[in-house]
Amino acid sequence: MGYQSLEACVADLERNGHLIRIREEVDPYLEMAAIHLRVFGHEGPALYFENIKGCRFPAVSNLFGTLDRSKFIFRDTLEKIKILVDLKTDPVKAIKNPFKYMNVALTAFSALPLKGSRNAPVNYGRTGISDLPQIVNWPMDGGPFVTMPQVYTEDPDKPGIMNANLGMYRIQLAGNDYIQDKEIGLHYQLHRGIGVHQTKANAKGQPLKVSIFVGGPPSHPLSAVMPLPEGLSEMTFAGALGNRRFRYFYDDEGFCISSDADFVITGTVYPHENKPEGPFGDHLGYYSLVHPFPLMKVHRVYHKKNPIWSFTVVGRPPQEDTSFGALIHQITGSALPKEIPGLHEVNAVDAAGVHPLLFAIGSERYTPYLRERKPQEILTIANHILGKNQLSLAKYLFISAREDDPSLHTHDIEKFLIHMLERIDFRYDLHFHTNTTIDTLDYSGGSLNSGSKVVFAAAGEKKRDLWKELPPSFSIPSLFAGCKLALPGVLAVECLPFTNESETEKQVAVLEAYLKDQDLNGLALIVFCDDAPFTAASVNNMVWVTFTRSNPSHDIYGINSFIEYKHWGCDGPLIIDARKKPHHAPELIKDPAAERQVDRLGEKGGSLYGII
């Protein structure tokens, strides 16, 4: 089945036990987010907030909170969509088997956007920005944000829906220097389609028209975050996924309006007009701080009859966007390896905040006539990966050779890291990219969008047997507070707080001198951290601390390191300084008062009793 509206989806989920209604009045300031986070953490149902303090509109969250619920929502179209994406990357299949794929081809054709009249349901009423749910998720957030928007822009050179971009970029509704109800903040990161459109509009000296859709059938927000193959429109994909053509019209000011959206905000972005946006508690588990981002001047706010506001809460993974990612991988997982020759598998590691850490498996076939293998083809593949759309934002890329272990998969974090650390040669197998772009939300580089990358490439036989426990004879200098083995061959070492790189180099020198007479062959990686027990408590903690709090060019050291013909290497083990630095953004901490209120709601008799 395909949903005609968000309201129909909510009703279907409720009938089938996937959604509960919260009838008590809840505060959009921190309380709604706290409820969402608690329910998500218990793998609970979607949440329908009937009574939001200070707002006449209801809201829904956690729609995609579990992969099973997402599959339920798209139960009638998911398999056909997988085939459609597969055909987009390999159209020869359809030519060879036309009857087999006829049904899928008809689905794609029927998904073409449908233009309608201006009397669409979303034109039912008008409201103001301040009348929308003013949801604030984290204590230091700069104001209320739209966290499940579909931001629509058209190409100034090729106007029209088929060349348009639909993306999910957070929107700040109030706070900072925004004029209430007249201005909102539009935040987007690197490698986003909207940036291309704004660049073209700026070159023409004209404002960029922006339409922000909220709600609508669940296929619409999913399409806004889907990394689609080149030439496949988000609106066409939304129609195919939702089994309902994307319906739209243009209002009398020339803005594109999604007829099925629950809310639509229209406005213009003028060339080089920015205002401070943020802070915002983001999906790396830290705040993204205040920076100048495009200012959107609000024209109108439309809504349909009985609209529902849709929102989510992001924070340290896993969160609802993790489930989004799992569903996206199911749909598009087979597509990328077909676009990059020799690539078999890739995984942006959610536990490390996605872009900070990328795992990949490729073929190593360049010199099969030699007995000893070393990274060659996988380095070519790594360069291709780092030039591919949002994969280019990867900061740490670990790539292995499939021939070494055909059973290895990138989604088993611990096994994959162990495989890499058993084989990597620290003298030759680290390849740095300095003074380059990294994820906008990653503050390890010291300035916005700026940092470094490193490729770890490993191919061939095992070079070391990793420690599964610390040898009785092993010890570290008294300069360090203690250490714990986080994974086989990975040691978390608790240090004094970071001050500067010069002091870190001295600490590394002390450690190096102390360890010079010890057998370190089973130790591959030392992680300098602020809290060794926390870092070593789980593999998720280890990758989150290590890869979100380090900048490869500045924070990677090694025992007996050297530079030879501009190539850095070391005898090993490798050292990564993953302590908090002065330029890092603060991590997200929940508000105690909001948590106490959720506890009260979870007591016997409340809507959330038995859920949290």
Verify that 335 and 216 share a domain, yes or no. Answer: no
Task: Note down the domain range covering 572.
Answer: 482-577
What is the dihedral sign for C-alpha 441, 447, 450, 453? negative
Which pLDDT score, from 0 to 100, does residue 226 have?
85
Q: How confident is the model at residue 190 (pLDDT cuts 50, 70, 90)?
A: low
| Strand partners for 381 | none
CATH number where 448 lies: 3.40.1670.10
**Cα(369)–Cα(1) distance, integer angstroms:** 55
Is residue 583 assigned to a domain? Answer: no
Percentage of the chain lying above the pLDDT 70 cut: 94
| Of 335 and 346, the one with more pLDDT | 346
pLDDT tens by residue, 549-594: 999 999 999 999 999 999 999 998 999 999 999 999 999 999 999 9
Total of domains in the chain: 3
167-196 mean pLDDT: 91
Q: Are 112 and 171 in contact (CB under 8 A)?
A: no
The 3-state secondary structure of 319-347, one letter per residue: CHHHHHHHHHHHHHCCHHHHHCCCEEEEE
CATH number where 241 lies: 2.30.110.10
The β-bridge relationship of strands 247-250 and 114-115 is parallel
Verify that 210 and 297 share a domain, yes or no. Answer: yes
pLDDT tens by residue, 223-252: 998 877 666 789 998 998 899 999 999 999
Which H/E stretch holds residue 484?
strand 482-487
| Strand partners for 212 | 151, 265
Least-confidence region, from 50-59, 65-74, 393-402, 597-606: 597-606
**Residue where a domain terminates, one of 250, 275, 310:** 310
pLDDT of 192 over the 80 cut? no
Is residue 400 assigned to a domain? Answer: yes
Place of tokens 């380059």: 436
pLDDT tens by residue, 351-371: 999 999 999 999 999 988 888
Verify that 430 and 369 share a domain, yes or no. Answer: yes
Verify that 304 and 449 share a domain, yes or no. Answer: no
446-452 mean pLDDT: 89
pLDDT tens by residue, 58-114: 999 999 999 999 999 999 988 888 777 665 555 434 444 544 544 555 555 567 899
Verify that 19 and 162 share a domain, yes or no. Answer: yes
Instruction: Please give the structure tokens belonging to residue 241.
Output: 């996924």
Verify that 492 and 362 share a domain, yes or no. Answer: no
Is residue 467 assigned to a domain? Answer: no
Verify that 283 and 329 share a domain, yes or no. Answer: no
- Strand, coil or helix: 412: coil
pLDDT of 476 over the 50 cut? yes
pLDDT tens by residue, 278-335: 999 999 999 999 999 999 999 999 999 999 999 999 999 999 998 888 888 888 776 6
Which pLDDT score, from 0 to 100, does residue 480 have?
95
Q: Are 454 and 552 in contact (CB under 8 A)?
A: yes
Verify that 83 and 110 share a domain, yes or no. Answer: yes
Residue environment code for 539-573, b if the CB has 16+ CB neighbours within 10 A, otherwise e: bbbbbbbbbbbbbbbbbbbbbebeeeeeebbbebb
**Residue where a domain terminates, one of 289, 310, 331:** 310
State the average pLDDT for the chain.
Answer: 91
Q: How confident is the model at residue 603 (pLDDT cuts 50, 70, 90)?
A: confident
366-381 mean pLDDT: 91
**Cα(267)–Cα(417) distance, integer angstroms:** 47
Is residue 466 assigned to a domain? Answer: no
Is residue 543 assigned to a domain? Answer: yes
Let me know if 126 is exposed, middle or buried by CB neighbors in 10 A (0-12, 13-18, 19+): exposed
Verify that 167 and 244 share a domain, yes or no. Answer: yes
DSSP letter assigned to residue 352: G
Query: Could you tell me the pTM of the whole model?
Result: 0.92
Is residue 593 assigned to a domain? Answer: no
The 3-state secondary structure of 179-198, one letter per residue: CCCCEEEECCCCCCHHHHHH
DSSP letter assigned to residue 403: G
Q: How confident is the model at residue 121 (pLDDT cuts 50, 70, 90)?
A: confident
Contacts by 484-487, CB closer than 8 A, 24 or more apart: 484/532, 484/533, 484/535, 484/536, 485/536, 486/527, 486/535, 486/536, 486/539, 486/541, 486/542, 487/414, 487/417, 487/418, 487/539, 487/542
Is residue 159 assigned to a domain? Answer: yes
Q: Which residue, among 325, 68, 60, 78, has the nearest Cα to 215 in the 3D structure? A: 60
Verify that 180 and 207 share a domain, yes or no. Answer: yes
Verify that 94 and 239 share a domain, yes or no. Answer: yes
Verify that 258 and 327 share a domain, yes or no. Answer: no
Is residue 588 assigned to a domain? Answer: no
**Cα(285)–Cα(587) distance, integer angstroms:** 6
